[in-house]
Structure 1
Amino acid sequence: MTDSSIASFAPFGDPRRNVVTLSDGRAFAFAAFGPAGGVQVVFLPGAGMSGSLCLPAAALEAGGLSVRAIDRPGLGQSATDPEKSLVSVADDVAALYGGERPVAVGYSQGAPFALALAAAGVARAALLVAPQDELAREDVRAALPPEIAGFAGAMNETPDETEAFLAGAADADGLAAIIARTAAPADRALYEAEPFATMLRTALREGFAGGGAGYARDTRAAMTRWPFDLGAMAVPVTVMAGRGDTSPVHAAEGGAGLAARIAGARHVVIEDGGGALPWTHAGDIVAEIRALVR
């Protein structure tokens, strides 16, 4: 069911921006949302986005969730990590939480990073929302439009060259246009209407503040072979997708194939949802997080 508070764009709340220094001297930034002392959640945003765009404040308050939405290295205010990978980001989040195990919520391109946290035991559970699938797999690429499949193939066959090309070619406004163009009509209307359009552009422009290299490295990490065994996950994982999601980079068939490959995963399809679930169906996401920590 669509959340009326989100449909009317209830305030998201002012993100409490924080920057910590990791043991190697790198700055690692996040935006804090929700009540202090709530259920700990780390939010892994979508492609190219900073952590400034999270679930709406009303949903987090109602669910008692204390969220840190991270800027992955090279995005937003987080320093570049030349060795960034799915595993290294899991290590960074582990350092941020200092032994506490949050629920990892990964949206779109953030989903593989959330899985890395789950695989490493950094997260106590993972919720993958409108997730990207493992595009290194030929069977997964076969379901993609030819241009996306070709790019994913190139990223796996010539990763250095393809990452460098993407770093030079991508920018925030271009990515915003692609997100809107490939979205279902209802999602496109959300992305292009104010005030949400400004919030989305702001998160992307913050993400690309240092150029396209951080986004390109994220894309390489997410599109190449994932360095963990989905069949050996030892924490609860839920795959949540909208029936009407038309994004070509989100998992096909509502994420059914991805969920089937993850040990013990729960698969949830939001019948009236699309690809913008964090902002159209925040209540469903909050309820699933609460279920994961019962």
Structure 2
Amino acid sequence: MHPDVEGMIAAVEKDAVGFEQYFSQIATPEGLWQLIIGMSGECDRLLYESDTFSKAYQRALQEGFAQGAQGYARDLVNSLRIWTVKPEEINVPVDLWYGGLDTSTVHSPDFGATLASRLPNASHTIDPEAGGSILWTRAWDILAKLKSHVSGI
């Protein structure tokens, strides 16, 4: 795990409320955009920095932070703290998608292998040609897989 991530986990374990308050004061859409670009490999930056995607993504970040960063900070704390449910007890289908070219230090260091091994009904997809932007580059496949779990659709 990257030292920055380890540090955030330690800070949340020590004082989750304080970490959330601090992070909600410093997080901005511009800062998050720079973080994403800075951690992204070449294949992701090609997408992120393309004119159409860049404008749409940055607009989404602006709208997402329009009422402040509290929601983002809470989501971050929830993802970094010890889960209240054991993954082994999650019995619904879970689809994990990872890009083999993902260079982000905040994404799963083993591309979800450990999590997939703990979830009883997980499907684990690693696209060796995709990066961290797999949610955008494989959106139709991901949505089709999610839809396949819902009966009657």
Q: Give the alignment's TM-score, normalised by structure 1.
A: 0.49
Distance 1:269 1:148 in 2: 22
Question: For 1:223-256, what per-residue CA distance to the aligned partner results, in whole angstroms no more than 9, with x for missing partners?
Answer: 1111212101221112111111111111122211
Q: After the TM superposition, which residues 50-69 of structure 1 pair with which residues of structure 2 at under 5 Å, given as runs? A: none
Alpha-carbon RMSD: 1.5
Distance 1:177 1:211 in 2: 18
Residue in 2 that maps onto 1:185: 42
Greater share of helix? 2
Q: RCO higher in 1 or 2 (8 Å CA, sep ≥ 6)?
A: 2
Percent identity among equivalent residues?
34
Does the 8 Å CA contact 1:251/1:258 hold for their aligned counterparts?
no
Give unmatched runs, 5+ long, in structure 2.
none
Q: Give the alignment's TM-score, normalised by structure 2.
A: 0.90
Aligned partner of residue 111 in structure 2, secondary structure: helix
Q: After the TM superposition, which residues 63-212 of structure 1 pair with which residues of structure 2 at under 5 Å, given as runs? A: 144-212=1-69
Distance 1:256 1:276 in 2: 18
How far residue 286 of structure 1 moved from its aligned partner, in angstroms, is 3.2
Distance 2:47 2:114 in 1: 28
How far residue 181 of structure 1 moved from its aligned partner, in angstroms, is 0.6
Residue 150 (structure 2) pairs with residue 282 (structure 1): no
Residue in 2 that maps onto 1:52: none
Distance 1:164 1:286 in 2: 34
Question: For 1:184-211, what per-residue CA distance to the aligned partner results, in whole angstroms no more than 9, with x for missing partners?
Answer: 1110121111110011111111111112
Give unmatched runs, 5+ long, in structure 1.
1-143
Q: 1:258 aligns with which of 115, 119, 123?
A: 115
Does the 8 Å CA contact 1:172/1:204 hold for their aligned counterparts?
yes
Question: For 1:87-133, what per-residue CA distance to the aligned partner results, in whole angstroms no more than 9, with x for missing partners?
Answer: xxxxxxxxxxxxxxxxxxxxxxxxxxxxxxxxxxxxxxxxxxxxxxx
How far residue 290 of structure 1 moved from its aligned partner, in angstroms, is 4.2
Residue in 1 that maps onto 2:98: 241
Number of residue pairs matched by the alignment: 151
Distance 1:276 1:147 in 2: 21
Question: For 1:116-151, what per-residue CA distance to the aligned partner results, in whole angstroms no more than 9, with x for missing partners?
Answer: xxxxxxxxxxxxxxxxxxxxxxxxxxxx22122112
Does the 8 Å CA contact 2:8/2:80 hold for their aligned counterparts?
no
Greater share of strand? 1
